[in-house]
Structure 1
Amino acid sequence: MSLSIGIDIGSTTVKVVVMDNDEILFKHYERHYSQVRQKTAEIFKKAKNAIGTRPFKVAISGSAGFGVAKAAKLEFIQEVFATGEAVRHSGKPIDIVIELGGEDAKILFLTGGVEERMNGTCAGGTGAFIDQMATLLDVSMDELDRLSLQAHRIYPIASRCGVFAKSDIQPLLNQGAAKADIAASIFQAVVDQTITGLAQGRRIEGRIGFFGGPLFFFKGLRKRFVETLKLTEENAIFPELGQFSVAIGSAVFSRNNTEEMTFKELIERMEDTANEVRSSHYLEPLFSNEDDYRAFVNRHAKATTPQIAIEEYSGNAYLGIDCGSTTTKVVLISEQAEILYSYYSSNRGNPVDIIRDQLIKIWQLCADRVFIRASVVTGYGEELIKSAFDMDAGIVETMAHFKAAKFFCPEVDFILDIGGQDMKCFKVKNDSVDSILLNEACSSGCGSFIETFARSMGYEIEDFSKHGIFSQYPVDLGSRCTVFMNSSVKQAQKEGASVEDISAGLSMSVVKNAIYKVIRAHSADELGDKIVVQGGTFYNDAVLRSFEKELGKHVIRPTIAGLMGAYGAALHARDMNLSASTTMKPDKLATFKHTSKAVQCGLCNNRCNLTVNTFADGKKYISGNKCERPLGVKKSTPLPNMYTYKLNRIKALQQVEGKRGKIGIPLGLNMYENIPFWHEFFTMLGFEVVLSDISSTELYNKGRYSIPSDTVCYPAKLMHGHIESLLEKGVDTIFYPCLTYNFDEEKGDNHYNCPVVAYYPELMRANIAKLQDITFMYPYFGLHRPKDFVKKAYAYFHGYYADMTQSEIKVAVKKAYECYYKWQNDLILEGAKVIEYAKKNKLQMVVLAGRPYHIDPEINHGIDQLISSFGIVVLSEDCVSDLVLPQRVNVLNQWTYHSRLYNAAKYCTLHQDTELVQLVSFGCGIDAITTDEVRDILERSGKLYTQLKIDEINNLGAAKIRIRSMLGAIEERRNTAKGGMHHAARQ
Structure 2
Amino acid sequence: MHRIGLDIGSTTIKTVVLDETGHVCHTQYERHFSRIAEKAREVLLALGKKFPGKHRLCISGSAGIGLSEQLGIPFAQEVFATRTAVTTLRPDADVVIELGGEDAKILFLTGGTDFCMNGSCAGGTGAFIDQMATLLQISQDEMNALAMNHEKLYPVASRCGVFAKSDIQPLLNQGATKEDISASIFQAVVSQTIAGLAHGRPIAGNVVYLGGPLTFFSMLRDTFDRNLHLEGTCPPLSLYYVAYGAALLAADEAFDLEKLADRIPDLAGWQSYDSLRPLFRDRRERIAFEDRYGQDLPEPLACTDERVSFFIGIDAGSTTTKCAALTEDGTIAFYRYLPSGGQPVSHVRDFLLELYDRYPGCRILGSAATGYGEDIIRSAFGVDLGVVETVAHYTAAKAYDPDVDFIIDIGGQDIKCFRIRNGAIDQIFLNEACSSGCGSFLQTFAQTLGYDMETFCDHALKGTRPVDLGSRCTVFMNSSVKQAQKDGAAMEDIAAGLAVSVVKNALYKVIRLKQGQKLGDHIIVQGGTFLNDAVLRAFELELGMPVTRPAAAGLMGAVGATLYAREQGLTSSTLRTRDQVLALQHTVKPTVCQGCTNHCRLTVNVFDGGKVCVAGNRCEKPVRHASARPGHNLYEYKRQQLARFSSRKGRRKTIGIPLVLNMYELLPFWHTLFTSLDFGVEISGFSSLSMYHKGQG
Q: Note the C-alpha offset of 1:682.
A: 6.4
Counterpart mapping for 1:301-450 below 5 A = 301=294, 308-309=301-302, 311=304, 314-368=307-361, 370-450=362-442
SS of 1:311's partner is: coil
Q: 1:570-600 CA distances to partner (integer Å, 9 max, x unpaired)?
A: 1111112223111122212212232323211
In the alignment, the residues of structure 2 paired with residue 432 and residue 461 of structure 1 have an alpha-carbon distance, to the nearest angstrom, of 35
What is the aligned partner in structure 2 of residue 36 from structure 1? 36
In the alignment, the residues of structure 2 paired with residue 237 and residue 386 of structure 1 have an alpha-carbon distance, to the nearest angstrom, of 49
Q: Note the C-alpha offset of 1:279.
A: 3.1
**Partner residue of 1:286 out of 257, 275, 279:** 279
What is the aligned partner in structure 1 of residue 549 from structure 2? 557
Which amino acid is 2:60 matched to? S
Q: In 2 relative to 1, CA 642–586 (structure 1 residues): closer, same or farther, beyond 3 Å? A: same
What is the aligned partner in structure 1 of residue 56 from structure 2? 57
In the alignment, the residues of structure 2 paired with residue 443 and residue 673 of structure 1 have an alpha-carbon distance, to the nearest angstrom, of 30
What is the aligned partner in structure 2 of residue 246 from structure 1? 242
SS of 1:613's partner is: strand
Counterpart mapping for 1:795-944 below 5 A = none
In the alignment, the residues of structure 1 paired with residue 434 and residue 306 of structure 2 have an alpha-carbon distance, to the nearest angstrom, of 44
Which amino acid is 1:578 matched to? L
Whether the 8 Å CA contact 1:303–1:408 is kept in 2: the answer is no
Higher helix share: 1
SS of 2:239's partner is: helix
Q: Note the C-alpha offset of 1:133.
A: 0.5
Q: 1:836-873 CA distances to partner (integer Å, 9 max, x unpaired)?
A: xxxxxxxxxxxxxxxxxxxxxxxxxxxxxxxxxxxxxx
Q: Note the C-alpha offset of 1:330.
A: 0.5
Counterpart mapping for 1:541-556 below 5 A = 541-556=533-548
In the alignment, the residues of structure 2 paired with residue 98 and residue 219 of structure 1 have an alpha-carbon distance, to the nearest angstrom, of 14
Whether the 8 Å CA contact 1:416–1:532 is kept in 2: the answer is yes
SS of 2:450's partner is: coil
Which amino acid is 2:8 matched to? I
What is the aligned partner in structure 1 of residue 91 from structure 2? 92
Q: Which runs of 5+ in 2 are unaligned?
A: none
Q: 1:384-406 CA distances to partner (integer Å, 9 max, x unpaired)?
A: 11111111111121211111111
SS of 1:85's partner is: helix
Q: Note the C-alpha offset of 1:17.
A: 1.1
Whether the 8 Å CA contact 1:16–1:44 is kept in 2: the answer is no
Q: In 2 relative to 1, CA 583–693 (structure 1 residues): closer, same or farther, beyond 3 Å? A: farther
In the alignment, the residues of structure 2 paired with residue 274 and residue 680 of structure 1 have an alpha-carbon distance, to the nearest angstrom, of 68
Whether the 8 Å CA contact 2:47–2:257 is kept in 1: the answer is no
What is the aligned partner in structure 2 of residue 630 from structure 1? 622
What is the aligned partner in structure 2 of residue 134 from structure 1? 133
In the alignment, the residues of structure 2 paired with residue 263 and residue 279 of structure 1 have an alpha-carbon distance, to the nearest angstrom, of 27
Whether the 8 Å CA contact 1:72–1:272 is kept in 2: the answer is no
What is the aligned partner in structure 2 of residue 268 from structure 1? 262
What is the aligned partner in structure 1 of residue 594 from structure 2? 602
In the alignment, the residues of structure 2 paired with residue 366 and residue 135 of structure 1 have an alpha-carbon distance, to the nearest angstrom, of 35
Q: Note the C-alpha offset of 1:438.
A: 0.7
Tell whether 2:149 aligns with 1:115. no
Whether the 8 Å CA contact 1:306–1:338 is kept in 2: the answer is no
Q: Note the C-alpha offset of 1:341.
A: 0.5
What is the aligned partner in structure 2 of residue 170 from structure 1? 169
Q: In 2 relative to 1, CA 658–76 (structure 1 residues): closer, same or farther, beyond 3 Å? A: closer
Which amino acid is 1:251 matched to? A
Q: 1:245-267 CA distances to partner (integer Å, 9 max, x unpaired)?
A: 1111111111xx12123444443
Using the aligned pairs only, state the percent identity. 51
Q: Note the C-alpha offset of 1:87.
A: 0.5
In the alignment, the residues of structure 2 paired with residue 214 and residue 685 of structure 1 have an alpha-carbon distance, to the nearest angstrom, of 55
In the alignment, the residues of structure 2 paired with residue 176 and residue 395 of structure 1 have an alpha-carbon distance, to the nearest angstrom, of 21
What is the aligned partner in structure 1 of residue 74 from structure 2? 75
In the alignment, the residues of structure 1 paired with residue 135 and residue 273 of structure 2 have an alpha-carbon distance, to the nearest angstrom, of 36
Which amino acid is 2:287 matched to? R
In the alignment, the residues of structure 2 paired with residue 275 and residue 642 of structure 1 have an alpha-carbon distance, to the nearest angstrom, of 62
Whether the 8 Å CA contact 1:305–1:338 is kept in 2: the answer is no
Greater CA radius of gyration, 1 or 2? 1
Q: Note the C-alpha offset of 1:311.
A: 3.4
Counterpart mapping for 1:399-548 below 5 A = 399-523=391-515, 525-548=517-540
Whether the 8 Å CA contact 1:392–1:581 is kept in 2: the answer is yes
Q: 1:338-372 CA distances to partner (integer Å, 9 max, x unpaired)?
A: 0010111111222221111111111222311x211
Q: In 2 relative to 1, CA 336–58 (structure 1 residues): closer, same or farther, beyond 3 Å? A: same
Which amino acid is 1:476 matched to? D
**Partner residue of 1:695 out of 680, 687, 691:** 687
Whether the 8 Å CA contact 1:8–1:247 is kept in 2: the answer is yes
Whether the 8 Å CA contact 1:68–1:273 is kept in 2: the answer is no
Tell whether 2:240 aligns with 1:217. no
Most deviating of 299-308 and 73-82: 299-308
In the alignment, the residues of structure 1 paired with residue 600 and residue 627 of structure 2 have an alpha-carbon distance, to the nearest angstrom, of 17
What is the aligned partner in structure 2 of residue 11 from structure 1? 10
In the alignment, the residues of structure 1 paired with residue 694 and residue 114 of structure 2 have an alpha-carbon distance, to the nearest angstrom, of 24
Q: Note the C-alpha offset of 1:677.
A: 4.3
Q: 1:137-172 CA distances to partner (integer Å, 9 max, x unpaired)?
A: 000011111111211211111112211110010000
Q: 1:675-694 CA distances to partner (integer Å, 9 max, x unpaired)?
A: 33454566678888654333
Counterpart mapping for 1:737-816 below 5 A = none
Q: Note the C-alpha offset of 1:610.
A: 0.6
In the alignment, the residues of structure 1 paired with residue 331 and residue 303 of structure 2 have an alpha-carbon distance, to the nearest angstrom, of 10
SS of 1:261's partner is: strand
Q: Note the C-alpha offset of 1:666.
A: 2.7
Q: 1:737-796 CA distances to partner (integer Å, 9 max, x unpaired)?
A: xxxxxxxxxxxxxxxxxxxxxxxxxxxxxxxxxxxxxxxxxxxxxxxxxxxxxxxxxxxx
Q: TM-score, normalised by structure 2?
A: 0.94
In the alignment, the residues of structure 1 paired with residue 261 and residue 681 of structure 2 have an alpha-carbon distance, to the nearest angstrom, of 73
Q: Which runs of 5+ in 1 are unaligned?
A: 706-987
Q: In 2 relative to 1, CA 602–640 (structure 1 residues): closer, same or farther, beyond 3 Å? A: closer
Whether the 8 Å CA contact 2:311–2:325 is kept in 1: the answer is yes
What is the aligned partner in structure 2 of residue 811 from structure 1? none
In the alignment, the residues of structure 2 paired with residue 629 and residue 574 of structure 1 have an alpha-carbon distance, to the nearest angstrom, of 34
Q: Note the C-alpha offset of 1:296.
A: 1.5
Q: Note the C-alpha offset of 1:63.
A: 1.1
Q: Note the C-alpha offset of 1:542.
A: 1.1
Whether the 8 Å CA contact 2:14–2:243 is kept in 1: the answer is yes
Whether the 8 Å CA contact 1:95–1:111 is kept in 2: the answer is yes
Count of equivalent residues: 696
Which amino acid is 1:464 matched to? F
Whether the 8 Å CA contact 1:524–1:552 is kept in 2: the answer is no
What is the aligned partner in structure 2 of residue 802 from structure 1? none
The answer to which structure, 1 or 2, has the higher relative contact order (CA under 8 A, 6+ apart) is 2
Which amino acid is 2:117 matched to? M
Q: In 2 relative to 1, CA 652–315 (structure 1 residues): closer, same or farther, beyond 3 Å? A: farther
Q: Note the C-alpha offset of 1:22.
A: 3.1
SS of 2:274's partner is: coil
Q: In 2 relative to 1, CA 668–259 (structure 1 residues): closer, same or farther, beyond 3 Å? A: closer
In the alignment, the residues of structure 1 paired with residue 265 and residue 649 of structure 2 have an alpha-carbon distance, to the nearest angstrom, of 80
What is the aligned partner in structure 2 of residue 23 from structure 1? 23
Whether the 8 Å CA contact 1:278–1:495 is kept in 2: the answer is yes
SS of 1:98's partner is: strand
Q: In 2 relative to 1, CA 426–85 (structure 1 residues): closer, same or farther, beyond 3 Å? A: same
In the alignment, the residues of structure 2 paired with residue 288 and residue 307 of structure 1 have an alpha-carbon distance, to the nearest angstrom, of 37
Whether the 8 Å CA contact 2:273–2:484 is kept in 1: the answer is no
Which amino acid is 1:131 matched to? D
Which amino acid is 1:356 matched to? R
Whether the 8 Å CA contact 1:99–1:106 is kept in 2: the answer is yes
Q: Note the C-alpha offset of 1:637.
A: 2.9
Q: In 2 relative to 1, CA 684–487 (structure 1 residues): closer, same or farther, beyond 3 Å? A: closer
SS of 2:696's partner is: helix
Q: Note the C-alpha offset of 1:77.
A: 0.6
Q: 1:155-203 CA distances to partner (integer Å, 9 max, x unpaired)?
A: 1111122111100100000011110111111111111111122223333
